[in-house]
Amino acid sequence: MSETTPAGRLPVELRAEALEQLLTERGLVDPVVMDELVQTYETSVGPMNGAKVVARAWTDPEYRRRLLADGTAAIAELGFTGPGGEHIVVVENTPRRHNVIVCTLCSCYPWPVLGLPPSWYKDPAYRARVVREPRAVLAEMGLELPAETEIVVRDSTSEVRWLVLPQRPHGTENLPEEQLAQLVTRDAMIGVAKVPPP
Ligand code: FE
């Protein structure tokens, strides 16, 4: 799952730049709009949004119930909407059942709550293997699950995008919502890690 560049190919940044230049020259994209889009995903849309959703669910049982019943609507309550967030389904991880997310076809991902996907999420090896041998892939990524924990792989598409509500770690009973949000990681909301205790 490393960020390698296949032999003989330019780094992705250079390829993206060349593509943007070409599209701009042909009048197909506006560089100002492109810059705004990149800025948005760098500063205001990312896993910090999902972390706020998770922390709210951990501290407000009624919100948690709404979140699991209708993820899109409950996430919109906190102001997180937009492309890639039209239909988000939230699944809860428990000691008995662990959910992990993939897009086997490409890289569908709940942008309003997680931002843009990490490169390993788009890696063909992750996409193929996590379906066939999720327990082994998770172990390689540092998450060893007990044999009695059932693993459910959720395949995101452009129609339905998944978000994991991770388990609240022990020792956080007295933490306020804002501090809980700071513990929640991107990987825990994809389901390839647990939220570490403080
Ligand atoms: Fe996809």
Annotated active-site residue 119? The verdict is no
| 193 close to 101: Cβ distance less than 8 angstroms | no
Annotated active-site residue 158? The verdict is no
pTM for this entry: 0.84
Annotated active-site residue 156? The verdict is no
Structure tokens at 47: 């896993």
Domains contained in the chain, CATH given:
45-190 (3.90.330.10)
Q: Of the residues 103, 119, 156, 158, which is catalytic? A: 103
The span from the CA of 197 to the CA of 122, in Å, is 28
The span from the CA of 106 to the CA of 102, in Å, is 9
Q: Which residues of the chain have pLDDT under 50?
A: 1-3
Annotated active-site residue 106? The verdict is yes
Give the pLDDT confidence of 93-134 residue by residue, as tens digits: 999 999 999 999 999 999 999 998 999 999 999 999 999 999
From ligand 1's centre to the CA of 140, what distance in Å? 23
| 126 close to 190: Cβ distance less than 8 angstroms | no
Query: How would you classify residue 29: left for phi > 0, otherwise alpha for psi between -120 and 50, otherwise beta?
Result: beta
From ligand 1's centre to the CA of 161, what distance in Å? 9
